Structure 1
Amino acid sequence: MFNVTPIGAFSDNYIWVLQQDGRAVAVDPGEAAPLLRFLQREKLRLDAILVTHHHADHCGGLAELARAWPDAVVYGPPGIAGVTKEVKAGDTVRLPMGDATVLAVPGHTLDHLAYRIDDALFCGDTMFAAGCGRVFEGTPAQLLASLKKLAQLPPSTKVYPAHEYTLSNLRFALAADPANPVLAVRQSRDQGLRERGQPTLPSTIALELASNPFLRCAEPAIRQSLLAQGGREDDDEAASFARLRAWKDDFR
């Protein structure tokens, strides 16, 4: 079984590194330096890189990594500088530690992909712990459909988003779903992890189904909160999701 290690980048990004038998695969290297230091320290060979979408904090390190590891294959959506093997939904990426299935999850961006290998899901900025990405290029309905696709994975699936946004997401989740008992427990646990300098990730699909408001926007408690924010009684799930995402955009 492979290990997964978070490498901190910028202020709150994670570059996830899958490693097994001295070989490594990196996910979303927005900058090269912290990844190169880790590979050198752990004496790992970089075999491949997985890119979820075109934002610079997810692929900005590709050029420098190509100079250091020219034989590493870079998988990702079409049109990204530095991607050497373009992939799409349904493709299988053969990695040293097993096959990864490519999933299309548009909404945050139109080209967004996720990668599932065994019980691990690398989902970039589509699903966060207790949250989801902003809608930059797609539509709220697209992002909702992408989240619902991920939510259908086995409950034990480990979720590896690309940012440490958990505590701020939980503050919003408690505003939207204040009576949810899972949220208070999760907030206490994750606050303790961050105070000890530890990541709150990975999450699981089961935990997200129980506490992520963007997977629960049709629940009566959240619909009631949305009504208090100016929602409508006849809003369907997609409209509720759009209102919830707009509320989160301005939440402080």
Structure 2
Amino acid sequence: MSLARITHIGGPTTLIEVDGWRLLTDPTFDPPGRRYSFGWGSSSVKLVGPALGVDELPEIDAVLLTHDQHADNLDDLGRALLPRVGAVVTTVTGAARLGGGAVGLAPWAVHTLNRPGRPPLSITATPCRHGPPLSRSITGDVIGFAVEWPGQEHGALWVSGDSVLYDGMRQVGGRFDVGTVLLHLGAVRFGVTGPLRYSMTGRDGVELCSLLRPQTVIPVHYEGWSHFSQGRSGVAGAFAAGGLEARWLELGVTGLVSV
């Protein structure tokens, strides 16, 4: 049986360890209490700090960065970490902003990581839309990541990225057999835009997973910031009503996941 070690550090930030590889998603390591601007009059306060500090991380082979333009996915301490990791894979526009050899992927583009003595990791960018229709010019580009390697038993490990539920997300199930999904939720809202949502609700997660049928669903990025309108209890209620079982990872506790 092939196992991955996944540690939920906080927000969207997870450490994924599998077959000698160490991947870090969306590094956010700033302490809580600060308000961050998200542009166009929107802002959010970080309420909970990371379960691990940057100095407690092992050597990181690659950062999978869904987007660089929002502090709840890349904050100051997370940004300072990037030059010290093996590779950074992100959006095309994000790679141009970050420089330093960051790899930019458009949706469905593929980048392969190779290291001696380890299986190659194939990383495919998957589409996201971080808000309602026509919001991309305001919220910016976002991608998810489908990660595959030889010897997987249950299909790709998918990092959904910050997105509402739309056709681009639904297409993932037609292209990949998804075994494990790190599902970004939280139903993000900002007072300045009223009822508009910028990430999935628990009910959206149920609908998406009914199409993908993953073996393991790990909710992430659903609390710890003031802009989330649906926390763990709301997500759990929606999952229970929809018959979807989740694997909840407590912050800082490493879970073993069959992959």
Give the TM-score normalised by the residue count of structure 1.
Answer: 0.53
Residue 115 in structure 1 maps to residue 137 in structure 2: no
Give the whole-Å Cα distance in 2 for the aligned partners of 1:116 and 1:4.
17
Correspondence for 1:105 among 128, 140, 165: 128
| Alpha-carbon spacing, 1:194–1:5, altered in 2? closer, same or farther (3 Å) | closer
Once the two structures are superposed, the pairs formed by residues 157-176 of structure 1 within 5 Å of their partners are 157-161=179-183, 162-164=220-222, 165-172=231-238
Query: Residue in 1 aligned with 2:169?
Result: 147
Once the two structures are superposed, the pairs formed by residues 1-252 of structure 1 within 5 Å of their partners are 3-9=4-10, 13-20=11-18, 22-31=20-29, 34=52, 36-39=54-57, 44-53=58-67, 54-60=69-75, 61-66=77-82, 69=84, 72-80=86-94, 81-82=97-98, 84-96=102-114, 97-108=120-131, 109-118=139-148, 119-126=156-163, 133=164, 143-152=165-174, 156-161=178-183, 162-164=220-222, 165-172=231-238, 180=242, 182=243, 186=245
Q: How many residues align?
A: 169
TM-superposition CA deviations, 1:44-97 (whole Å, max 9, x none): 321211111232111224432035x1x522111133343622221222122255
Q: Report if aligned partners of 1:103, 1:115 keep a CA contact under 8 Å in 2.
A: yes
Give the whole-Å Cα distance in 1 for the aligned partners of 2:91 and 2:157.
20
Query: Residue in 2 aligned with 1:212?
Result: none
Q: Report if aligned partners of 1:3, 1:19 keep a CA contact under 8 Å in 2.
A: yes
| Alpha-carbon spacing, 1:23–1:38, altered in 2? closer, same or farther (3 Å) | farther
Give the TM-score normalised by the residue count of structure 2.
Answer: 0.51
TM-superposition CA deviations, 1:150-198 (whole Å, max 9, x none): 3435565211124244431243567xxx5x5x26xx4xx77xx689997
Give the whole-Å Cα distance in 1 for the aligned partners of 2:251 and 2:87.
36
| Alpha-carbon spacing, 1:105–1:194, altered in 2? closer, same or farther (3 Å) | closer
Q: Looking at CA atoms only, which structure, 1 or 2, has the larger radius of gyration?
A: 1
Report the residue type matching 1:125 in the other structure: D
TM-superposition CA deviations, 1:70-125 (whole Å, max 9, x none): x5221111333436222212221222551111112224344111110122001122
Which of the pair is proportionally richer in helix? 1
| Alpha-carbon spacing, 1:2–1:58, altered in 2? closer, same or farther (3 Å) | farther
Q: Report if aligned partners of 1:23, 1:45 keep a CA contact under 8 Å in 2.
A: no
Give the whole-Å Cα distance in 2 for the aligned partners of 1:199 and 1:22.
16
Percent of paired sites with the same residue: 17
Higher relative CO (Cα under 8 Å, sequence separation at least 6) belongs to 2
TM-superposition CA deviations, 1:190-217 (whole Å, max 9, x none): 7xx6899979998x9xxxxxxxxxxxxx
| Alpha-carbon spacing, 1:168–1:156, altered in 2? closer, same or farther (3 Å) | same
Instruction: Please list every run of 5 or more consecutive structure 1 residues that lacks an aligned counterpart in the other structure.
Output: 127-132, 134-142, 205-252
| Alpha-carbon spacing, 1:197–1:51, altered in 2? closer, same or farther (3 Å) | closer
